[in-house]
Amino acid sequence: MSAGSTSSVRDHTARFADAWSAALRERGADRWSVLATTPERLEEQLALIEARTRRSLVNMQSRWWIDPHDRSASLDDRSRARGVTVTLFVPRRALELSPLLPSTHADVWVAPVLQDAMLVDDTLAILSGGLDDDGQRVFCSTTDAELVGLLREVVVALRQVAVRPDEVTGRSPLTPRQVQVALAVARGDKETTTARRLDTSLRTVEREVSAVIAHLGVRTRQEASLAILGERT
């Protein structure tokens, strides 16, 4: 990744961030709207947006932690089943905090993400609007042509420098069943419970747990759980 390419991402992100900050200060302007004020409400709104997405969804996240109960991957799978192109950009640090990420999300790219945002069908942007008077995170949406255009330029710059996770980690993704077992480990499920839920043998689950532990480069089930949750010591 060249310094010049990284500089391009930084410059385009700065231009977008400046424009977005200016738009937020224009309280009377009709350039953006509040989408949600709680993570639960945001999840509901994203599910509705997913159902209306027709072509593409680009997710840019500067941080990422695995939640064993998270539904975002299933939403992405639903979009792909309809022919929607779903792309996730994360920085290298995200792979350290969430080593399962390349296995739980299909089209992940590593790039210097500096602005958390989502771009839907190249026409709708979703991003943070800062904190409200109660200190709660506000999530906003905008279809403003200038703002969306600037965010599209950020995406183009990210694509030019992005690399696949295996080029960073040297590891291939886990199999779908290994992912299910890994998430069960993170939840603290017993292996007998996992075997019953996956309708497979206890020996198979034990073998998959061993594979997950080896994949993560740890020694025990407890260490694997901590690594999956981004709490590796």
pLDDT at 190 over 70: yes
Span 186-198, average pLDDT: 94
Contact present, 57 and 85 (Cβ < 8 Å): yes
Q: For 100-135, what is each residue's pLDDT tens digit?
A: 999 988 899 999 999 999 999 999 999 998 877 787
Instruction: Tell me which DSSP letter residue 2 carries.
Output: -
Q: Is the dihedral of CA 199, 205, 211, 217 positive or negative?
A: positive
Contact present, 95 and 168 (Cβ < 8 Å): yes
Contact present, 150 and 15 (Cβ < 8 Å): yes
Q: Which CATH class, in words, describes the domain spanning 176-228?
A: mainly alpha
Q: What is the dihedral of CA 83, 85, 86, 90, to 10 degrees?
A: 160
- CATH code of the domain made up of 3-169: 3.30.870.10
Q: For 136-175, what is each residue's pLDDT tens digit?
A: 889 999 999 999 999 999 999 999 999 999 999 998 999 9
Domain with CATH 3.30.870.10 in the chain: 3-169
Span 28-34, average pLDDT: 82
Contact present, 139 and 36 (Cβ < 8 Å): yes
Span 68-90, average pLDDT: 82
Closest CA to 119 of 93, 167, 86, 164: 86
**Burial label, 204 (beta-carbon count in 10 A; 0-12, 13-18, 19+):** middle
Query: Within 13 A of 221's CA, how many CA atoms are on the CB side?
Result: 17
Closest CA to 180 of 202, 209, 218: 209
Please state, in angstroms and rounded to a whole number, the distance separating the CA atoms of residues 39 and 151.
23
pLDDT of residue 137: 86
For the chain, list the strands marked E by DSSP.
Answer: 33-36, 56-60, 85-90, 108-110, 117-120, 124-131, 137-142
